[in-house]
Amino acid sequence: MVWGSRWDGTRFPANWSGTKNSIEKIAFLLKDCLLCIDDFAPGGSRRDVADLHSKANDLLRAAGNLAGRSRMNYDTSLRPTYWPRGLLVSSGEDVPGGHSVRARLAIEQLGPDDINIDKLSHLQAAAREGLLAQTMAGYVQWIAGRDDLGVLLARRQQELRAMVRAAHRRTPDITAGLMLGIDMFLRFAVDAGAISKEEVQNRTEAAWRVLTEAASAQTAEQRDEDPVEIFLDAVPEVLSSGRAHIARCDGSEPCQEPFVFGWIRRADKMAEQGSDGSFTSTPQWMARGRCIGWLAGSKLWLSPDAAIAEINAMLHEQGRVIPISRLALGRRLREAGRLVEPDGGTTKPVWIGGATVRVFVLDATKVLGITSEPETPF
């Protein structure tokens, strides 16, 4: 039994080192239970890390979507489909990647000072004595005796969901669901005589405060895996790395701070003799890497294919990648309001070097932190 005293800090019902199929089956069998999967700790080769993230991706998506993977036998007959039918909790040193996966999670970052050791020791002793299992058994029996539970839960979840403000639409549902569980358990505790009605108010307020703070923190976790933010954050990085550069529309270096755009001085000084016989020194700039775009006033014209190719090559070395196509990225940029001139589409035709090129039009100040260049008549 998953609620029994056997399950302690060193023995968990499942572990991320298990096979994908075995974890799926365990998550299916433990219906209406809390399943803790231990130790999400990517390590080893790049393939090992990718395999672990893939395993987590499939399981967590199945939990969020309440749907498993359909598979066939060798004779083309369908195999049983398994999906998580309880609540999944995972410990780990990292968070599974992917914007849509993280949107399905309630992520809590814990440090060494976040755990009250005295309280933890007290609860562990109670677990060993079977008290927590008895409490859960009583709670399950209490739930089973509530004929009005379905209507009550649906109404209460709608109320809680409307009170949550978050960047992703899944976060209010997750927050409301967790608070609903706390709310119902406190009602059981009152009926069982374990706490007073006055205590319920204090505990409810404290729980709601913690959950709404966690919901706000989800925005940062989701931003780290948002393809739009990954792409835009990588533009200045790929330029400073020497992999690529941005030019003016005539192919020359930008007027101000060319090194920000991927240019480097070929020589500290180059002496030039003026008409009066005097010598002046001016810097000479050389572009590094591939040209991925152009600067036109305050607008940054990025070539989608060139920019994505160079950024993905850089991200690949970090074990990451922009996980969507160019067309999907363009739509995401437009939906996020990052395209300056979407005009109903995602790219704009511009005249560069004697040819028409379709580009993402972005605000150069927001992407690269520079002021506008003189407008170029192209």
Give the integer Cα–Cα distance in Å for 18 and 32: 22
Say if 325 falls within a structural domain: yes
The pLDDT score that the predictor gives to residue 9 is 63
What confidence tens digit (pLDDT) does each residue in 101-147 have? 877 888 888 887 888 899 988 988 888 888 888 998 999 899 888 88
Alpha helix segments (H runs only) across the chain: 20-29, 46-65, 99-102, 117-128, 131-144, 149-161, 170-191, 197-223, 227-240, 304-317, 326-335, 364-368
Is 0.85 surpassed by the pTM of this model?
no
Q: Is 252 a member of any domain?
A: yes
The pLDDT of residue 27 is: 92
Q: Considering the domain boundaries, does residue 146 fall inside one? A: no
CA-nearest of 307, 281, 318 to 361 is 307
- Measured CA to CA, the distance from residue 200 to residue 177 in angstroms comes to 18
| Residue 240 placed within a domain | yes
- For residues 135-170, one letter each, b for 16 or more C-beta atoms within 10 angstroms of the residue's C-beta and e for the rest, the string is bbeebeebeeeeeeeeeebeeebeebbeebebebeb
Closest CA to 249 of 312, 182, 301, 327: 301
Asked if residue 308 belongs to a domain, the reply is yes
From CA 356, how far away is CA 224, in angstroms rounded? 34
Q: What is the pLDDT of residue 377?
A: 42
- In 224-303, alpha helices (H): 227-240
Contact between 176 and 164 under an 8 Å Cβ cutoff? The reply is yes
> Residue 301: its pLDDT value, please?
95
For the chain, residues with pLDDT lower than 70 are 1-10, 166-168, 220-222, 267-283, 342-343, 371-378
Does 327 reside within a domain?
Answer: yes
Domain of 289, in residue numbers: 227-368
Report the C-alpha gap between 19 and 56 in whole angstroms. 11
Q: How many domains does the chain have?
A: 1
Interatomic CA distance for residues 6 and 129, integer angstroms: 10
Answer whether 58's CB lies under 8 Å from 83's CB: no
Question: In the block, which residue shows the tokens 């990052």?
Answer: 338
Structural domain includes residue 134: no
What is the C-alpha separation between 138 and 141, in angstroms, rounded?
5
Contacts of 295 (CB under 8 A, 6+ apart): 246, 247, 248, 249, 254, 261, 301, 364, 373
Tell me whether residue 231 is in a domain.
Answer: yes
The length of the chain is: 378
Note whether 245 and 262 are within 8 A (CB).
Answer: yes
Q: Which residues pair with 362 in a beta bridge?
A: 300
